[in-house]
Chains A and B, each alone.
Chain A
Amino acid sequence: MEIQTEQFTAAVKRELQNARSRAFLKVMPPVLNMKRDIGLSTFPNIDAAQAYGAAIRQEAMARLPELLEEFEKNALANGAKVFWARDAKEANETILQLAKERGVKYVTKGKSMVTEEMGLNEILSKNGIEPWETDLGEFIAQQLHRPPFHIVGPAINVAVEEVCDLFMAKANMKEPTLDPVQLGYAARLFLRDKFHHVQMGITGVNMAVAETGTIINVENEGNIRLTKSSPKTQVSVMSLEKVVPTMKDALHMIRLLSRNCTGQKLTAYVSMDSGPKKKDEIDGPAELFILIIDNGRTKIYQDLKARDALRCIRCAACLNICPVYGQIGGYAYGWAYSGPMGQVLNPLLLGLDRTQDLYRATTLCGACKSVCPVGIDHPSMFLYYRSKDVLGDPYWKGKKRPSSEKRFFKAWISAVTRAWLWNLGIRMVRPLINKDAHDGVISKMKGPFQGWFRTRDLPAMAAKTFHDRWKEIKKI
C-alpha cells in the first residue's frame, strides 16, 4: 500500500466534496455508536469492564518481552513454527519464500491490518503470487485499489452500483444486480472456488495468548476460518503487541473487542489455533507459521509515553466517535490505520516528519479517549508528538516548526510572564487586528490567521479589555 500521509490536506478537500462518503458518514458512525452502547450495556458494570481491559493491556505492555518469549515457547510446543521479522521487508520476504518453496500460485487472505501495513499484497503480486482478500469489504477495496475507509469495514462506503460494476468487470458475476445479498453471494461463489484449491492461507492475529501459545481471530463472515482451515499451509502474521498473558485475559479482551467494535457480545466466529493439525485431528493446516513482526514496535516500546499506543486492539470505537473522522472518513489518513488510532500510531511508525498533519488535525476534544476500551489517552499522545516535533526530536524524527511560529511564541511568552508588557502588547496589536473591522466585527484578515476568516467572523478586539474595565468595575 502506498503511504500517502503527507497528502492529508488535499485528501481532506477531496473527501469533503465526495457526496457518497459524506452521505455515508452521516449515517454510519451514529449507527455504530448506538450498537456499541447497546452492546456495552450488557456488561453489569461498563466502566469496570473497560478498566479491566485497560489493565490487561497495560500489563501486557509492561511485560511485553517476557510474554513474547512465553508465547513463542508454548507455540513451538504446540507444533507451530515461529518466525521473527524486524521490519516489513523481512516479513514480506519470509512469506514470499515460504510460498515459493511450496510452489504456491495464489494465497487467500483473511482481513489483516498488519499485512496492509507491510504492503504484502503488492509484494506477492509482483512475484507472481496472486493474493485474494476474502473478507468481502477487503475484497472490494482490493479490487478497487483503495485503502481501507474504515478499519472494520474497509469498503463500507462503496456504493452497491459500484460493487455491481466491479463484480461484472472482474467476471465474478453473470447478471447485474443491486441486491447486497446477491452481490455477497457472487463474491462468495468466486472465493469458494479459490478456497477449493488453495495451498496457503494468510491471516492476521487479534490476540495471542502467552500462557497457551494460542492465536485467536474474531470475524463475522467465516472467511478467516476458511483461510485457516482449507490450505495445507497457514501463515499467521502478528504485530508483536498482540500478546496477552492468559486465556482468561484474552476472553475478556474478546468480549470488549466485539462490543466496542460492532456491538456484538461475541462475533459470529472466534477461532483459536494452538498449533497445526494433530495426528488424530481431521482438519486444520498441516503446517502453521506464526510470523511475529516488529516493524518499529520495539522502538515504540522503549519510549514509555509512546508505549501506550501499543495497547490498541483495533476495535475502531474511536473512529466512530471522532468528529474529524466523521467529516473526512478514512482515506485522508493515507494509510492502513485511520481515525484517532491512526493519528496515534502512524506518527510512531512513519515518523513525526511525515505525519505532521495527523497529530495536528485534532481539536483535542477527547471523545476518542472517552470510548477507548484499553485506556489510551489520545489527546495527551498528540500533545506529546507536537512537543517532540517542536524540539526536532531525532528519535521520532521531529521536523521542527516554521521560524515565524517560533518567533511568535517567543514574543508571546515574554509578554505572558510580564503583565505590563502583555497589556502594552495588546494596545499595540489592537489597531492591526481591528484594521478591517466594521461595526465591531472583523470579517477578513490576510496572513497567518486567514484560515479562520474563510467561514467565520471575529469580534473586533475590545476597545477596553477586561483588564482595563476592571479599574472601573472594582470601584462599583
Chain B
Amino acid sequence: MKNVSLFIPCTVDLFLPHIGEATVTLLRRLGINPVYHEEQTCCGQPAINAGYQKEAQKAAKHFIKVFGDDEQVVSPSGSCVCTVKYHYPELFENEPEWRRRAEELAPRMFELSQYLVDVLNVEDVGASFAGKVTYHESCHILRGLGVSEQPKKLIKAVQGTQLVPLNAAESCCGFGGEFANNFPDISESMVKDKVENYLSSGADLLLLCEPGCLLNIGGFLSRNHPGKKAMHLANFLAPNGREGQ
C-alpha cells in the first residue's frame, strides 16, 4: 500500500475529529495508507493572519521538521495547505535554508479532493447518497489552490446524488478566522446570505471542503435552522462506500 502523510488541522483535531476519521476511511478504501505523525500540531495560520510573524515562523519550522521528509502530505483543509504552500516561503525571506525547505515542501502539499482527483485519478469513490446536494466554494480552495472542479467531480460520481447550483457559491461565507469573532456584525450578514442561498437552492445538504467554513456555516445553521446541515466532503464520501474498492 502506498503511504501518504496526513495533516489534520487544529480545527479538525479539536472540534471536528470526524472529518479526520472520514479522511482516513476514504483513503484506506482507495488503497492508500494514511500516516499520522503524532508530533503534528497547528500550521500557524492563526498567527500569520493575526500578524504574529515571529510566532508563525516557529510554527512553520515545527511543521517543516515534522513533514519535511514526506513524499506527499494531504489535508482536509485547503486554507492550511495554502498556508504551507504560499505563506511559509514568504515567512523565511531572511532565512534561506528554511526558505529552501519550505519551497521544497510546497509542491508536495495537497488538499483532499485535489489529492483524490489529481493525484490518485479517482472520481468515483464508490459512495451513494439519494438526494440533492450543493457545493460551497471556499475562498482558499477556489482562489488559493484553484480547486473547484475536483470536489464537483467527486460529488457527481456519487450514486443517486444530484448536484444543484448554489447562487453566489464563490462568495465568502464570512469566516476568516478572527474576522468572524472580531467583526460579528459583518460576518453574520455574510453567513446569512450564504445560508439563504443554500436554503433557496433546494438542496438537502450543503457540502464544502474547508473546516473553517463548516464551523461558520454549520454553527449558523445549528443556531438558526437546526433542520439543515452542512457537511465536509470527506464525511459525505466516506460512509456507504463499497468496501474493497
A residues touching B (Cβ–Cβ < 8 Å)? 9, 12-13, 16, 323-324, 326-328, 357, 360-367, 369-370, 380, 383, 385-390, 401, 405, 409-410, 412-413, 415-417, 419, 422, 426, 441, 443, 448-449, 451-452, 454-462, 464-467, 469-470, 473-474
| Contact yes or no, A412 B47, CB < 8 A | yes
Instruction: Write the chain B residue with the least CB distance to A462.
Output: B17
Per-residue contact bits, chain B 159-197, to A (CB 8 Å; 1 contact, 0 not):
000000000001110111111111111111111110000
Chain B: minimal CB distance from A397 (Å): 14
- Residue numbers in A under 8 Å from B39 (CB-CB): 419
- The answer for the CA separation of A48 and B82 in the assembled complex, in Å, is 25
Query: Which listed residue, B49, B182, B186, B222, touches A328 by the CB 8 Å rule?
Result: B186
- The contact of A16 among B15, B140, B170, B189, by CB within 8 Å, is B189
Contacting residue for A456 out of B8, B51, B223, CB 8 A = B223
A456 touches B47 (CB 8 A): no
Within 8 A of A (CB), among B12-41: 12-17, 20-21, 24, 36, 38-41
Q: A390, A415, A466: which contacts B50 (Cβ < 8 A)?
A: A390
Given A456-B220, A470-B38, A413-B47 contact (CB < 8 Å): yes
Most buried by B among A328, A361, A389, A459: A459
**Contact residues in B for A469 (Cβ distance below 8 Å):** 17, 20-21
- Would A323 and B179 be within 8 Å (CB), given that A417-B58, A465-B14 are in contact? no
Give 4 closest A-B pairs by Cβ, nearest first: A363-B176, A386-B51, A456-B219, A365-B172
Q: How far is the CB of B116 from chain A (nearest CB, A)?
A: 19
Q: Which residues of B approach A to under 8 Å, CB–CB?
A: 8, 12-17, 20-21, 24, 36, 38-42, 44, 46-53, 55, 58-59, 61-62, 90, 139-140, 143-144, 170-172, 174-193, 215-216, 218-220, 222-224
20 A-B residue pairs with Cβ-Cβ distance under 8 Å, sorted by A, are: A12-B183, A12-B186, A16-B185, A327-B193, A363-B172, A366-B139, A367-B143, A383-B48, A387-B53, A389-B51, A409-B55, A412-B46, A412-B55, A417-B61, A451-B182, A451-B184, A452-B184, A466-B21, A469-B17, A469-B20
Check A465–B215 contact: CB distance below 8 A.
no
B219 touching A365, Cβ below 8 Å? no
A467 adjacent to B172 (CB under 8 Å):
no
State the main secondary structure of chain B at its contact with A.
helix
Q: How far is the CA of A195 from the CA of B121 in the complex (A)?
A: 68
Contact B219–A457 (Cβ < 8 Å): yes
Name B143's contact: one of A360, A365, A452 (CB within 8 Å): A365
Contact: B188 with A455, CB < 8 Å?
Answer: yes
B143 touches A369 (CB 8 A): yes
| Residues in B neighbouring A409, C-beta threshold 8 A | 47, 50, 52, 55
Q: How far is the CB of B137 from chain A (nearest CB, A)?
A: 10
**Residue in A363, A383, A385, A455 whose beta carbon sits within 8 Å of that of B139 in the complex:** A363
Of A327, A390, A452, A464, the residue contacting B53 (CB under 8 A) is: A390
Chain A residues near B47: list those with CB within 8 A.
Answer: 409, 412-413
A12-B186, A456-B220, A462-B14 in contact; A386/B41 too (CB < 8 A)?
no
Q: Which residues of B contact A454 (CB under 8 A)?
A: 184, 188
User: Smallest CB-CB separation from B40: which chain A residue?
Assistant: A419
Given A361-B183, A416-B59, A459-B16, 14 additional A-B pairs, CB 8 A: A9-B185, A16-B186, A16-B189, A323-B174, A324-B186, A367-B170, A383-B49, A383-B51, A390-B50, A413-B58, A416-B62, A422-B41, A454-B184, A456-B219
Central interface residue in A363, A370, A443, by most chain B CB within 10 Å: A363
In the bound complex, what is the Cα–Cα distance between A455 and B215 (angstroms)? 12
Q: Report the bound CA distance from A451 to B49 in whole Å.
A: 18
A452 CA to B175 CA, complexed, in Å: 10
Residues of A within 8 A of B143 (CB): 365-367, 369-370
Known A419-B40, A473-B21; contact A441-B13, beta-carbon cutoff 8 A: no
Distance in Å: Cβ of B12 to nearest Cβ of chain A: 6
Given the complex of chains A and B, what is the CA–CA distance between A431 and B116 in angstroms? 37
Distance in Å from the Cβ of B144 to the closest Cβ of chain A?
7
Using Cβ atoms and an 8 Å threshold, which residues of chain B touch A473? 21, 24
Residues of B within 8 A of A452 (CB): 180-181, 184, 219
Which partner residue on chain B sits nearest A430 by CB separation? B14
Task: Return B40 CB to nearest CB of chain A, in Å.
Answer: 7
A467 touching B38, Cβ below 8 Å = yes
Contact call A367/B216, Cβ cutoff below 8 A: no
A426–B232 alpha-carbon span in the complex (Å): 23
Could you say which residues of chain B place their CB within 8 Å of the CB of A461?
Answer: 14-15
Instruction: Return chain A residues, CB-CB under 8 Å to B20.
Output: 466, 469
The complex places the Cα of A234 from the Cα of B28 at a distance, in Å, of: 74
Q: Which residue of B lies closest to A443 (CB)?
A: B223
A366 CA / B79 CA spacing, docked (Å): 12
How far apart sit A409 and B178, CA to CA, in the bound complex (Å)? 13
Known: A362-B179, A416-B58. A327 touches B189 (CB 8 A): yes
Contact A470 B36 (CB under 8 A): yes
Q: Which residues of B contact A419 (CB under 8 A)?
A: 38-41
Q: Are B14 and A327 in contact (CB under 8 A)?
A: no
Please pick, from B17, B21, B52, B144, the residue contacting A366 in the complex, using a CB distance under 8 A.
B144
Tell me the bound Cα distance from A457 to B218 in angstroms.
8
Taken together as a complex, chains A and B put the C-alpha atoms of A364 and B139 apart, in Å, by: 8
Task: Using CB atoms, name the residue of chain B closest to A426.
Answer: B14
CA distance A182 to B6 in the complex (A): 66
Q: How far is the CA of A406 from the CA of B53 in the complex (A)?
A: 12
Give the Cβ gap from B82 to chain A, nearest Cβ, in Å.
9
CB A343 to nearest CB in B, in angstroms, measures 13
Residue from B16, B48, B184 with most neighbouring chain A CB atoms (10 Å)? B184
Residues from chain A with Cβ under 8 Å of B182 in the complex? 360, 451
Most buried by A among B39, B62, B172: B172
Give min CB distance, A382 to chain B, whole Å. Answer: 9
Q: How far is the CA of A73 from the CA of B48 in the complex (A)?
A: 45
Bound Cα distance from A458 to B182, whole angstroms: 16
CA distance A205 to B200 in the complex (A): 46
Residue of B nearest to A457 (CB): B222
Q: How far is the CA of A474 from the CA of B140 in the complex (A)?
A: 30
Residue numbers in A under 8 Å from B62 (CB-CB): 416-417
